[in-house]
Amino acid sequence: MSNTPFPQSFLWGGAIAANQAEGAYLEGGKGLSIVDLLPTGAKRRSIMQGSVPSLTPLEGEFYPSHEAIGFYHRYREDIALFAEMGFKCLRVSIAWARIFPTGEEETPNEQGLRFYDDLFDELLKHGIEPIVTLAHFDVPVNLIEKYGSWRHRKLVGLFERYAKTVLERYKSKVKYWMTFNEINMLLHLPFLGAGLTFEEGDNVEQIKYQAAHHQLVASALAVKACHEIAPGAMIGCMLAAGSFYPFTCNPEDVYQGMEKDRESYFFIDVQSRGEYPGYAKRFFRDHNLAIAMEDGDADLLRGHTVDYIGFSYYSSRTTSTDPEVNKKMTSGNVFGSVANPYLAKSEWGWTVDPLGMRITANQLHDRYQKPLFVVENGFGAHDEVRPDGSIDDGYRIDYLKRHVAAMGEAIEDGVNILGYTCWGPIDIVSASSGEMRKRYGYIYVDRDNEGRGTGDRLKKKSFDWYKNVIATNGAEL
Ligand code: BG6
């Protein structure tokens, strides 16, 4: 195909996560997991931040992940639709609690393992490459209750066992793996990202960075296991990306922008370069944080760095040191961004910045010099179904078109990008709000915020648009 910056091998597809799509939250022997405790409504945000009222679902609350979109039962039908669009790959996550329901069993749950065997077989039957995240906002609740989740070193070994189990089982089917989804989310929504809960008087920073260390060691162990068990496969990390812009050229703003970016880069610096960066050590010193590390941790981190950098990009972020400017924060953005007067916003307050995709990809390339994989990008919007069943989501096509074009520019700039999996190619439960109303899909799911609806799947206008993008390898947007 002429006039396309995308290489022939480019992996076009979509991305979903077990907890937002599968439902069947207690079927097949599955144990409870983080997202099973997140209701819709006003309390969701504080629970995601770590104020967790109960480690069992409460009467009277609605938990959208319990049924989600029923992908657990309907995946064949959904995959057939992805195949119709020409998907080359589908990013999914394995629910840890389907494989080890309490996280601590001696032997894995065969029913859970079989489900993913069937899922991967179905994908491969259609020529769709599975891209698998080991942990997408996912910790068995028993481990939260017993150990306080990732704050405890115990989780490292339990995660390693889980990772080895699935790597061994699926090594002939899966060539692309990722360790922790949006690992930097741990700092912003610590319960969602890492199952951390807090009580009055806790040293929250200390707990978060200790948990981060444990995840980083666990990630290195998963990389090690992948390289040993499935030598032909690639395993990456996953960053919630979107570079910070200084609000002005005041050096104070510029410096703060750099610091904000480093809050996120910190994780990837360790996962990709193999050691704690100097600025992180200084941060720990300045904040009196004492991170417990075991002998051998430094060698593990150094010896087992990731093969590629997966990242999500929805929007850029903006930061200011001016208290007046800081009065205008964007809503719905967990990264604490001030409003950027040059950019439009979605209904949920997420800014739209296609050029930011090119900037972010170039910066990640310059920093790590490793292949990148855009594993999430998309436009959350409310869609209207017309009486004839059609859905005109031109606004989504517009967003995606501009972002894919920006990604193409980054490739022309010399950035090596393995593929693009847009978020939620079929509507799924929103992670941040728990709503169904915030939709990303090319495929509409008839289900509302309260869980009502037939569950039927309908093609939106964007369905044919994306199909053509893939068919022309990005030449026609
Ligand atoms: C990322 C997550 O943060 O963004 C996904 O990895 C999430 O799980 C996606 O769904 C979009 O966010 P939201 O809140 O609109 O669903």
The 10s digit of each residue's pLDDT in 60-92 is 999 999 999 999 999 999 999 999 999 999 999
Residue 248 CB contacts under 8 Å (≥ 6 apart), including other chains: 320, 322
Q: What share of the chain is helix, strand, coil (3-state, %, to 5)?
A: 45, 15, 45
Give the active site residue among 61, 182, 199, 205: 182
**pLDDT greater than 80 at residue 2:** no
Burial bucket for residue 394 (CB in 10 Å: 0-12, 13-18, 19+): exposed
Helix (H, G, I), strand (E, B), or coil: what is residue 239? strand
Ligand 1: which of 423, 437, 438, 439 to mutate, judged by most atoms within 8 Å of the beta carbon? 423
- Its CATH class, for the domain covering 11-471, is alpha beta
Task: Decide: 436 in ligand 1 pocket, CB within 6 A.
Answer: no
Amino acid at 327: K
Give mean pLDDT, residues 401-428: 98
Task: Decide: 431 in ligand 1 pocket, CB within 6 A.
Answer: yes
The 10s digit of each residue's pLDDT in 115-135 is 999 999 999 999 999 999 999
Active site residue 199: no
Give the active site residue among 22, 122, 129, 376: 376
Task: Decide: 432 in ligand 1 pocket, CB within 6 A.
Answer: yes
- The whole-number pLDDT of residue 334 equals 83
**pLDDT greater than 70 at residue 227:** yes
Phi, psi of 180 (to 5 degrees): -105, 125
What is the model's pTM? 0.98
Give mean pLDDT, residues 263-292: 98
Domain locations in the chain as residue ranges: 11-471
Cβ atoms 68, 23 nearer than 8 A: yes
Task: Decide: 163 in ligand 1 pocket, CB within 6 A.
Answer: no
**pLDDT greater than 90 at residue 332:** no
Q: Which tokens in the block code for residue 411?
A: 């490739």
Buried b (16+ CB within 10 A) or exposed e, 406-432: bbbbbbeeebebbbbbbbbbbbbbbbb
DSSP state at residue 58: P
